[in-house]
Structure 1
Amino acid sequence: MIVSVLAQADPGVPSGSEFGKASPVGLFVTVALLVAVIYIGYALTRRMRRLNRRRAFAEAHGLDVFDEQAVDEAMREAGLADVDKKRWF
């Protein structure tokens, strides 16, 4: 008895002309995520600069760093525009 086995592809493995090609939706998702990460980095950098500026002002004027109302009032009296801006985050 001789047994012959034909080489066949596994039926669960995708094949054909469309296999391995990325869709435009994948590119869009990747670009959207990249834009989101860049925006979050920009926003956090802005926020950290603002917090460092407020901390330095509070320490220079002998204020409690965690007393937001006192720091806001002192910065407003000093003429710094930071205080009047809307806080987005």
Structure 2
Amino acid sequence: MVELGWIGWIIIGGLAGWIGSKIMKTDAQQGIILNVVVGVVGGLIAGFVASRVFGMESGGWIYSFVVCLIGACILLFIVKAVTGRRSRV
């Protein structure tokens, strides 16, 4: 399998974070940097869990994107649950 470099993680994380923010309806609150951070952090967390549950360390671009997307959605869900709804004044 192809190993992703840090540029690959930024690209995949950015796309996954952006799509995850669209799914979780938080896109208006985030910029491109936060999308990348959410995608990469979500991917790291979900990748760790997936490697323990499924025993797969890596699976290429598509596997990495799906794992990052799922992780980003879960991370955004947790952040929304912890922070609650904040109204803009």
TM-score, normalised by the number of residues in structure 2: 0.30
Structure in which a larger fraction of residues adopt helix: 2
Normalized against structure 1, the TM-score is what? Answer: 0.30
